[in-house]
């Protein structure tokens, strides 16, 4: 098979220019694709785009979710989730051109997405049906993910290992109770993922239509405090009683670098009962 030789540029989405504190899936991303086309580049390489607990894109809280910090405010207006006036009211002085003020970005995106969700709830049935269809298509991961985020908020973002035992062990009766008590908040998190993937696939189509491939970087491991570890504890080498890691991923010391411990559990490939389901999980990731 003949493989075409091609070149490209590595720029993470968060590093693109933006008036809103962090690069996103909005106009500047489209301009960057146009630049790649003009300079005859065929590849745009990015870092992981999954949500993280810390600024590092490799400390993912989910193998499947999209990071809401990358949602574009301008695209929210374009898709009728916000008004232009909503953006005019933003105090842009808190943001900087040379670094990301993560706390300010988080607060802004949560505020805008909260407004967008309220606008969405007043929308027509067609929009509601699109959200339902999205949930059904992504049910294999989004049900646990939105529960995970909702429960984390309820327990002030503490790690899942510190939750009450019934929630920590992912017991169906406890989760059903959360679904009933926090129905609107869960729906909000589903909406946020719907918006993220709407913007992501629009951008991806724009790139692919112009013969630009977006090449992603997938972390091998998942952060311990993630929905995937919580929902699939048997996939990882954890103590069955304490749910703590028995071993963790890391990197040995090197010249100028101390030993690194990543707080990421090792996969449980040695268990023949787990292996088929773990393999299926990996296939879904890919």
Per-residue pLDDT of 139-191, as tens digits, reads 999 999 999 999 999 998 889 999 999 999 999 999 999 999 999 999 999 99
> Domain spans of the chain?
8-231, 232-286
Supply φ then ψ for residue 149, to 5 degrees: -65, -40
Q: Is 50 left (phi over 0), alpha (psi -120 to 50) or beta?
A: beta
Residue pLDDT, tens place only, 197-237 = 999 999 999 999 999 999 988 999 999 999 999 999 999 99
Using only the alpha carbons of the chain, give its radius of gyration: 20
Residue pLDDT, tens place only, 80-106 = 999 999 999 999 999 988 899 999 999
Model confidence at 78, pLDDT cuts 50, 70, 90, reads very high
Residues linked to residue 189 through DSSP beta bridges, in sequence order: none
Residue 1 has what pLDDT?
A: 64
How far apart CA 223 and CA 168 sit, in angstroms, is: 16
CB of 207 within 8 A of CB of 79?
A: no
Stretch (H or E) spanning 227: helix 227-231
Fold of the domain spanning 8-231: TIM Barrel (3.20.20)
- How many percent of the chain have pLDDT more than 90? 84
Residue 217 has what pLDDT?
A: 86
Please give the sequence-ordered ranges of beta strands (E in DSSP) within the chain, or none if there are none: 8-10, 43-45, 213-215, 248-251, 260-265
Give 238's contacts (C-beta < 8 A, 6+ positions apart). 229, 244, 245, 246, 265
Residue 124 has pLDDT above 80, yes or no: no
Q: Are strands 8-10 and 248-251 parallel, antiparallel or unpaired?
A: unpaired
Model confidence at 79, pLDDT cuts 50, 70, 90, reads very high
């Amino acid at each position: 098979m003949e493989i075409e030789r091609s070149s490209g540029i590595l720029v993470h989405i968060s590093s693109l220019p933006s008036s809103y504190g962090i690069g996103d899936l909005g106009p500047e991303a489209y301009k960057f694709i146009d630049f790649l086309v003009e300079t005859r580049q065929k590849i745009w390489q990015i870092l992981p785009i999954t949500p993280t607990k810390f600024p590092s894109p490799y400390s993912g809280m989910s193998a499947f979710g999209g990071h809401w910090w990358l949602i574009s405010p301008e695209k929210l207006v374009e898709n009728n989730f916000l008004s232009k006036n909503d953006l005019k009211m933003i105090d842009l002085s808190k943001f900087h051109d040379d670094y990301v003020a993560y706390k300010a970005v988080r607060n802004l995106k949560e505020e805008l997405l909260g407004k967008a969700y309220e606008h969405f709830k007043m929308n027509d049935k067609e929009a509601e049906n699109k959200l339902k269809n999205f949930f059904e298509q992504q049910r294999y991961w989004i049900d646990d993910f939105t529960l995970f985020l909702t429960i984390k908020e309820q327990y002030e973002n503490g790690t899942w290992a510190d939750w009450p035992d019934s929630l920590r062990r992912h017991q169906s009766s406890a989760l059903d109770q959360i679904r009933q008590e926090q129905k609107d908040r869960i729906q909000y998190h589903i909406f946020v993922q719907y918006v993220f993937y709407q913007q992501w696939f629009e951008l991806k189509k724009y790139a692919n239509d112009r013969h630009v491939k977006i090449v992603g970087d997938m972390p091998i491991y998942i952060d311990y405090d993630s929905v995937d570890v919580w929902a699939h504890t048997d996939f990882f080498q954890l103590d069955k009683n304490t749910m703590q890691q028995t071993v963790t991923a890391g990197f040995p010391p090197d010249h100028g670098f101390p030993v690194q411990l990543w707080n990421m559990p090792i996969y449980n490939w040695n268990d023949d009962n787990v292996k088929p389901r773990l393999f299926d999980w990996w296939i879904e990731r890919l």
